[in-house]
């Protein structure tokens, strides 16, 4: 199940053409409203997603969404390292100093 996907050109596996031939691969579409689901036993290359109208899609996506929700509830994220100005400043006095004693 894919919740996000790269912004590829339609019917292609690349996102850059001509002058914009470089793909930044950080620009993605959020498709969490209707995730893409594939049957890897029949579609190894993930070319044809399962239709959202099928009962198989509804059953599998429902199970995966409940699993994802349970997982998100169980994960406890640490506080941000950049929570204050002092945490974002470079602390040069904490860096090791190389002294050549030869």
Domain enclosing residue 52, as ranges? 4-70
Assess if residue 92 is contained within a domain: no
CA distance 12 to 73: 36
pLDDT at 3: 78
pLDDT at 102: 63
pLDDT at 7: 66
Assess if residue 65 is contained within a domain: yes
Assess if residue 26 is contained within a domain: yes
Residues comprising the chain, all counted: 102
* Residue-by-residue pLDDT tens, the chain, 102 positions: 777 776 666 666 666 555 555 665 556 777 778 888 989 999 888 888 899 999 999 999 999 999 989 998 999 888 777 777 777 677 776 767 666 776
For the chain, where are the alpha helices, taking DSSP H only? 55-74, 85-88
Assess if residue 90 is contained within a domain: no
Assess if residue 98 is contained within a domain: no
pTM attached to this predicted model: 0.56
Assess if residue 29 is contained within a domain: yes
What's the total number of domains in the chain? Answer: 1
Assess if residue 48 is contained within a domain: yes
């Amino acid at each position: 199940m894919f919740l996000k996907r790269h912004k590829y050109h339609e019917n292609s596996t690349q996102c850059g053409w001509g002058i914009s031939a470089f793909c930044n691969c950080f620009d993605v579409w959020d498709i969490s409203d209707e995730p893409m689901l594939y049957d890897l036993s029949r579609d190894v290359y993930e070319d044809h997603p399962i239709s959202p109208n099928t009962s198989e899609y509804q059953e599998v996506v429902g199970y995966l969404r409940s699993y994802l929700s349970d997982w998100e509830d169980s994960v406890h994220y640490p506080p941000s390292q950049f929570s204050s100005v002092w945490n974002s400043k470079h602390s040069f006095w904490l860096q090791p100093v190389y002294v050549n004693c030869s």
